[in-house]
Structure formats: C-alpha cells, structure tokens
Amino acid sequence: MPDQFNKQSLTEHLRELRSCLIYSIGAIVVGFALAYNFIRPISDWFFRPLMEVLPAGKSLIFISYQEGFFFI
C-alpha cells in the first residue's frame, strides 16, 4: 500500500484529497440534517435533569440572544 502512494503524482494525490473532502463534507451535512430532524427529542433528553430540579412553575431563562436558538 505505501508503494501505491509513492507512485502517485501530485495531481493524483490532490484528486484523492478532493474526493475524501467531498465525502467528509457530505457525511457532515447528512449528520446535521439527521440531528436537526431529532432536535426536540435531543433537547428534551439534554434538559431533562435540569427541568427535574427547577421549582414548579419556573422555566429556563436565557441571558444572551443566541442561547434561545440552540434548542428551538
């Protein structure tokens, strides 16, 4: 296997790198899309311990603008 890499030219290495990057970016996009579809169950699981210890009738308070958008 190492001999195969030594025999490749620079452009072949760059083509292989490009294909690896395309697959990696595609996998990240698919992962984000799947996670976005399950954002409500994920956020319920993530905040469950905090919600159990909050007093009755109280809710979470976000102190900066972007915090409220993490789990919409």
Per-residue pLDDT reduced to its tens digit, 16-63: 999 999 999 999 999 999 988 988 888 888 888 888 888 888 877 778
Tokens of residue 6, six digits: 């030594």
0.85 surpassed by pTM: no
* 11: phi then psi, degrees, rounded to nearest 5: -65, -35
How far apart CA 53 and CA 44 sit, in angstroms, is: 14
**pLDDT reported for residue 14:** 93
* Domain assignments of the chain as residue spans, ordered by start: 1-37, 39-72
Q: Cβ(50)–Cβ(60) under 8 Å?
A: yes
